[in-house]
Structure formats: C-alpha cells, structure tokens
Chain A
Amino acid sequence: NAGVTQTPKFRILKIGQSMTLQCTQDMNHNYMYWYRQDPGMGLKLIYYSVGAGITDKGEVPNGYNVSRSTTEDFPLRLELAAPSQTSVYFCASSTSGGTNEQFFGPGTRLTVL
C-alpha cells in the first residue's frame, strides 16, 4: 500500500492564481481531511469528508474548496491565492472518526508570492 499520497510536493504561486492540491489514499478509508500547518501553530483543519459525496468545513475553510467524488480522492482547490495561504498542507485519512488513527500524507509546501 502506498498509503496517502499528495502531489505536488512543492509549488510557488503568484497572488491571484488558482491550483488544486491532489490527495489519494489506497486504504479504502471513508474519512479524509485537509490540514494546514504554519510554524508554531500546529495543524488546523480546513475541510473534511466522511464519505464520497459528503464534505464539511473545518476550522479554517475560507479561500478553499473541496470535492469528494470517489472514496480514494480528496482534492483541495485554492481559488485566487493569497500570501496568507503560504503554508504546508497535509491530507489525512482514517477508517472512521472518534478513536481511529489518522494516516497522513507527506505534505505539499505552498508559497504564494
């Protein structure tokens, strides 16, 4: 199993550009999550999904959109990139909520200039 994979690893965007961060998991997990990590701030939840076709906002959803058309994929869309979106983005998945371990991808480092 590859686990959770994310592409790209690094990206530099100009202000106002858009992009999609890709996330795929091969563990047949129902739950998937997007986090952003800023230095000294821990991880903040952007969006999550409890199954294909179901998504919901986390703590910091503004400026982002998601979709979940399949169990495996959970792309994160940035529209009109802003410098405040410079961060490291992590995708994670789990079998279900509550007590279950979340498995994290290696991250995407995004810089908006």
Chain B
Amino acid sequence: EPEVTQTPSHQVTQMGQEVILRCVPISNHLYFYWYRQILGQKVEFLVSFYNNEISEKSEIFDDQFSVERPDGSNFTLKIRSTKLEDSAMYFCASSEGTVSQETQYFGPGTRLLVL
C-alpha cells in the first residue's frame, strides 16, 4: 500500500541553524501539506501546496519557513533560522485532490528538537 514517507525521523539542531525536512508523498497525489504538533498539543496546519505553489498558509508559517518540490517526488519544508519554539513533530500529508476534500494521508513525522 502506498505510503507517505518522511526523513529524518528525528533531528536535533542548534537554535539559529537551518533545517530541511523531507517528504515523499504518495505518487499519484497532487496536494501536499505540512502540519506540526507541539508535544502534547493538537495538530496544526502550516501550509498547503499545489501545482508548484503555496495555496494556503497559516499564521505560523512566517518568513522563516519555506516549502519546495525540487523534483517529481520530494516535498521539503525548510526552516531558515530555527527557534526553540520550533521544536515539534512535523507531519507531511498528501491527497489526490481537494474537490471533494479527499482524504489526507500522513507520513510518520519528523521530530525536531531545537536546543
């Protein structure tokens, strides 16, 4: 069964460093998302991406964040200068479409710890 994959599973970084979180969505999916979950809290929407551009972003997704689909398979989230409060689990998700609000399938997550 096709799955969304994410690498790395864990990342530890120093405050101020740049991190890139990688995702491989399900191959025939067209819509891609990033969410984050601060420890013990709810899952929060960060950004959606379609047709090589951002279709919606939340207030959390400020200038420190960027997304890219560098090739036909990868979808990346870059945090330019990490802060302590960026420590969270980051989930990538993908769906076939949104016309009928297709189901989003989530990857296993990347746990980011900023020291």
A binds B: no
Q: Which residues of chain B have a CB within 8 Å of any CB of chain A?
A: none
Q: Which residues of chain A have a CB within 8 Å of any CB of chain B?
A: none
